[in-house]
Amino acid sequence: MIYTFLYSLLLIFSLPFIYIYFKRKGYDFGLKERFTLYKDYMDSSIWFHCASVGELKAAYPVIKYFSQKENVIITIFSPRAKDFASSVFQNEKVRFLPFDLPIFINRFIKMYNPKILIITEKEVWINLVKISSKKFPVVSINSKISKNLPVLNNFSLFLTNSEENAEKIKRYIKDKEKVVVCGDLKFLGENRKDIKFDKNGKKIIIGASTHNPEEKILIDTFLELKKDIENIALIIAPRHLERLNEIENLLKEKNIDYSLRTKTDKMEKDVMILDTIGELSGFYQYADVVFVGGTFANIGGHNILEPILENKPVIIGNYYYKVEDLYNQLKDYGIISSVKNKEELKEKIIEYLNNNQSSELLSFKDLQQKIFKCYINNIQNLIKGD
């Protein structure tokens, strides 16, 4: 009651400012849906709640699996996520999450008759969980709960992405058996942007999201490799395009013939600079080895998952604290390695180019299947009441 009262007060005072803020950004805040001021009906449904675009992407394979068998209703919180969900989920109904007050939650449940509520990652609304849990199971998937809330005991199951997050949740709830480690749903994602590109028979190294001095390290390593590997080529994708001139000067100093992605869709020169925005994920399909930047430079690492989802071997430096959890989960599958210097980088590239990675890549596909089945089977068992 205290929470509901305080939430109501906060809503009254903040709503005009929130509405104006999103209106100026060009987004529809969806007040009609948040107040459930509309009529709709489903015989029964599987209810997914994803707060953001990232959570929608994580839950995508699970949502698509159940939408082939059941009516699916997806609620989201942010206007940007609503636009994204409406474009991606054509056969599923997408609504804004009602404001977290009993009258709106109950009205929503009456319209869509959910048999289960599946909440992605760390979104916990107190009335949403308490009211729903009295009527049907509430499940957290890819769980990343980091706050101790009494309402966590109302969840029927936590399907977590890692042992670390599982241990955190177990400290917060009474029934430890509710926590199951399935693995990270992001391992199942597909983020590729389809692009037109001709490898021209080259073995391609991609330096992805690079910083100073990583381009120089890559260029020097490439020149060493080229002495023994004639058909090798390098693509440099700098993290910040304003450094383009700096990278071009490095190549000119070494008398290296290079091209810009904006000028060609074929690997004709020794080096190409990816001087476009949003194409990097599409280039991974053409790589033979990928170095992910921000790891020789003390940045902490960038997205290592995108090239791995393309089954490409990945190399990083020794500054990877921002992606350490992912690295630790993946390193035993033989498709990612950390190196300390230029010499180790060269050795690891040669190893990846020469070795047949098929067994390791198959092992990673087995991991993906295991993760997917863990989520699906546990959710299905709850729906059946097992």
Taking the C-alpha atoms of residue 43 and residue 342, their distance in angstroms, rounded to an integer, is 62
Residue 154: DSSP 8-state: G
CA distance to 268, 271, 279, 287, per residue, from 263 (Å) = 11, 13, 14, 20
Is 55 a catalytic site residue?
Answer: yes
Q: Which residues pair with 159 in a beta bridge?
A: 141, 180
Catalytic residue among 33, 55, 306, 310: 55
The structure tokens 């942010």 sit at 78
Taking the C-alpha atoms of residue 143 and residue 146, their distance in angstroms, rounded to an integer, is 9
DSSP for 66-96, written as a single string: HHTTS-EEEEESSHHHHHHHHHH-SSSEEEE
The structure tokens 């969806």 sit at 30
Burial of residue 134 (CB within 10 Å: 0-12, 13-18, 19+) is: exposed
Taking the C-alpha atoms of residue 37 and residue 228, their distance in angstroms, rounded to an integer, is 69
The H or E element that residue 8 is part of is helix 2-24
Instruction: Write out the catalytic residue numbers.
Output: 55
